């Protein structure tokens, strides 16, 4: 049993809404807050407890709202503050909570602080950002921006460079300055005082940079001579990270009953445990990325594709399950607005789409931690068949293709096939195509022209059809979400991996006292006979299944093996005693 009483977010399921792509109420092609408010019935039918809203703040939209120009204002394209207040009240009235995205590693270059900061070195806001003198007439370090090019941009008015880990329109804040941290705390209080229920903190482990002994940011180790280098080792997990987060807890968070999740690329299990330690840490959970990197070539960019080896996924998730078993807490996710669609990535978006989408949901919801469902994943939405770059909108994708083509030379309009293949597999726009509500025009998302094309498969994959079909991916998710409430072992049970070396089956147990749950997932289109060894399925209760079992579980067991059909997933409560 846990040594501290369960907090509400430990038995909650979070649903992520990407506002631009959820529901457009006024036909301008962009999803908005009134649109979200009109779809709360869908969320309630699914049974989620918490809604995480990607940014709806004022923004020039260089990175779809992750570049904020006013932390206390709603972007006009999304609606008004009154619309926001109404959404919050409506969610609360339905017993759901609301989590805001907090994007404070950087601001927009249009934020008033940066507008001031860039004017002169004497400006009081100058110290809010990270500046450095040129070195040899060029950028101060060899760091690459995550969105391509140098991480440093020249500012003529002050004769210096400023740091931007992401686009040049997203200057990094300098968290070494107490005034910056106080402003962030004030922003958090502003939203908490309105009644929001917590924060998802964007790239929060980037806020403490690793400064050199001379007070400057050093060069990153050179792994590819002549190229810009990944500065992650110096921008992520810096020496003051835990201190900054604990301060946040101390001065703001502990005064509110809220949920916090820190997005932490490159975080280690040890640091995550320290951050999520209920007694001495700061946040309730983090988003780690290890399992999102397994289908890229090791040490290379996400665009260098590699087929997933299921054993890697099992090893990775098990490491995290174990690392946070006694102290800390896991978040559980397979998708979000930055990742491709999970059914296309780890499942099969062809003939086995429904079975594999349900299998993936079972695998995720069976683990210990707080599950996050990304909008559309409850329908088994798929990657988009992008065949030319003109169909893409995401700055990361567009910059990658531009830079790669420039390096290769030749016709910049003719994007090479290998790059488009990478975009189809990994591009963030895959997750951002409009939510598929109906089989009708624009999938019922908008009466106008959507900002990003609707997937042609909305004629069959859509919420209306899914709700009407008791065997749909949606209802499978709904049942899994409901199980979390009725099965304490699903929340608290200890995790143990079974068949670690099996190439296509992911199986594990969750044990709480005398109750033992078994999750078995076939990650392949090939049927498999799984040796049961000492496991006894006699008398087991089927809590979730994605294939019909007209003759019961016994019909799947013969000769000491469990027969699994393509992408079959079972969640069982084993008989005790």
Q: Looking at the annotation, which residues are catalytic?
A: 202, 263
Q: Is 203 one of the binding residues for ligand GLC (CB under 6 A)?
A: yes
Question: Using CB distances below 5 to 8 A depending on partner kind, what does residue 109 bind out of Ca ion, ligand GLC, none?
Answer: none
| Residue closest to ligand GLC, measured at CB | 66
143 or 437: whose CB is closer to Ca ion?
A: 437
Nearest to 329 by CA among 288, 268, 284, 264: 284
Would you count residue 177 as binding Ca ion (CB under 5 A)? no
Cβ contacts of residue 172 below 8 Å, gap of 6+? 105, 106, 129, 130, 162, 163, 164, 165, 206, 209, 235
For residue 504, what are the CA distances in angstroms to 380, 525, 545?
21, 9, 18
Min dist CB 29 to Ca ion, Å, is 7
Burial group, residue 269, by CB count within 10 angstroms (0-12, 13-18, 19+): middle
Residue 24 contacts Ca ion per CB under 5 A? yes
SS3 331: strand
Sequence-separated (6 or more) residues with CB below 8 Å from residue 224:
none
- The CB-of-26 to Ca ion minimum distance in angstroms stands at 5
Query: Choosing among ligand GLC, Ca ion, none, which partner's interface includes residue 28 (Cβ < 5 to 8 Å by kind)?
Result: Ca ion
**Contact pattern for ligand GLC over residues 64 through 103, marking x by CB under 6 A:** --x------------------------------------x
Q: How far is the CB of 356 from ligand GLC (least distance, A)?
A: 25
**Site for ligand GLC contains 338 (CB under 6 A):** yes
3-state secondary structure of 55: coil
Q: Kindly identify the residues of this chain, within the stretch 262-281, that bind ligand GLC according to CB under 6 A.
A: 263
Interaction between residue 429 and ligand GLC (CB under 6 A): no
Selection from ligand GLC, Ca ion, none that 66 binds (CB < 5 to 8 A by kind) is: ligand GLC
Residue 479 to residue 483: CA distance in whole angstroms:
6
Name, in order, each residue with C-beta under 8 angstroms of 440's C-beta and a sequence gap of 6 or more. Answer: none
- Three-point CA angle 552, 558, 559, nearest 5°: 160
List 83, 172, 197, 202, residue binding ligand GLC (CB under 6 A): 202
Say whether 246 sits in a helix, a strand or coil. Answer: helix
Q: Quick one: which of 288, 176, 183, 164 has its CA closest to 240?
A: 176
By CB under 6 A, residue 63 contacts ligand GLC: yes
Q: Is 499 exposed, middle or buried (0-12, 13-18, 19+ CB in 10 A)?
A: middle
CB of 202 to ligand GLC, least distance (A): 5
Cα–Cα dist 317/300, whole Å: 21
**Which lies closer to ligand GLC via its Cβ, residue 203 or residue 364?**
203
Instruction: Write the binding mask 27 to 56 for Ca ion: x where contact by CB under 5 A, - elsewhere.
Output: -x-x-x------------------------
Q: Is 166 in the site for ligand GLC (CB under 6 A)?
A: yes
Give the binding site for Ca ion (CB under 5 A).
24, 26, 28, 30, 32
Give the binding site for ligand GLC (CB under 6 A).
63, 66, 103, 166, 202-203, 263, 337-338
């Amino acid at each position: 049993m846990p040594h501290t009483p369960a907090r509400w977010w430990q038995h909650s399921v979070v649903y992520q809404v990407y506002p631009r792509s959820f529901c457009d109420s006024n036909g301008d092609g962009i999803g908005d807050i009134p649109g979200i408010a009109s779809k709360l019935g869908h969320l309630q039918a699914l049974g989620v407890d918490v809604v995480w809203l990607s940014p709806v703040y004022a923004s020039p939209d260089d990175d779809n709202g992750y570049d904020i120009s006013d932390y206390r204002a709603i972007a006009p394209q999304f609606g008004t503050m009154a619309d926001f207040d109404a959404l919050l009240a409506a969610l609360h009235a339905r017993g759901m909570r609301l989590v805001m995205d907090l994007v404070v590693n950087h601001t927009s270059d249009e934020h008033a602080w940066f507008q001031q900061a860039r004017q002169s070195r004497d400006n009081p806001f100058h110290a809010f950002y990270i500046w450095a003198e040129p070195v040899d007439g060029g950028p101060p370090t060899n760091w690459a921006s995550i969105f391509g090019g140098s991480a440093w941009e020249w500012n003529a008015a002050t004769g210096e460079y400023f740091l931007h880990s992401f686009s040049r329109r997203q200057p990094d804040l300098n968290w070494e300055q107490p005034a910056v941290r106080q402003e962030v705390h004030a922003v958090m209080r502003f939203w908490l005082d309105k009644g929001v229920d917590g924060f998802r903190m964007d790239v929060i482990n980037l806020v403490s940079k690793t400064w050199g002994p001379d007070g400057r940011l050093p060069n990153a180790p050179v792994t590819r001579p002549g190229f810009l280098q990944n500065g992650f080792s110096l921008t992520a997990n810096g020496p003051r990270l835990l201190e900054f987060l604990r301060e946040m807890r101390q001065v703001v968070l502990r005064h509110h009953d809220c949920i916090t999740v820190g997005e932490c690329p490159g975080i280690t299990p040890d640091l995550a445990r320290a951050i999520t330690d209920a007694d001495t840490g700061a946040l309730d959970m983090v988003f780690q990325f290890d399992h999102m990197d397994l289908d890229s070539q090791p040490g290379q960019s996400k665009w260098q594709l590699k087929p997933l080896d299921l054993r890697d996924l099992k090893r990775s998730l098990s490491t995290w399950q174990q690392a946070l078993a006694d102290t800390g807490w896991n978040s559980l996710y397979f998708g979000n607005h930055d990742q491709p669609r999970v059914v296309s990535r780890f499942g099969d978006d062809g003939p086995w789409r429904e079975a594999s989408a349900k299998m993936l949901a079972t695998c995720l919801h069976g683990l210990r931690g707080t599950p996050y469902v990304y909008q559309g994943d409850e329908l088994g939405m798929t990657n988009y068949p992008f065949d030319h770059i003109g169909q893409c909108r995401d700055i990361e994708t567009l910059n990658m293709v531009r830079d790669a083509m420039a390096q290769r030379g030749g016709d910049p309009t003719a994007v090479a096939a290998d790059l488009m293949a990478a975009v189809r597999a990994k591009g963030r726009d895959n997750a951002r195509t409009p939510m598929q509500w109906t089989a009708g025009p624009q999938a019922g998302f908008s009466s106008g022209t959507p900002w990003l094309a609707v997937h042609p498969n909305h004629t069959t994959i859509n919420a209306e059809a899914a709700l009407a079909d008791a065997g749909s991916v949606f209802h499978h998710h709904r049942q899994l979400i409901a199980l979390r409430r009725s099965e304490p072992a699903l929340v608290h049970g200890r995790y143990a991996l079974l068949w670690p070396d099996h190439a296509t089956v992911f199986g594990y147990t969750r044990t709480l006292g005398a109750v033992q749950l078994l999750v078995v997932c076939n990650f392949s289109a090939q049927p498999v006979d799984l040796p049961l060894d000492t496991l006894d399925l006699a008398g087991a209760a089927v809590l979730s299944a994605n294939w019909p079992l007209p003759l019961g579980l016994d019909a799947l067991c013969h000769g000491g093996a469990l027969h699994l059909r393509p992408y079959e997933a079972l969640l069982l409560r084993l008989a005790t005693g």
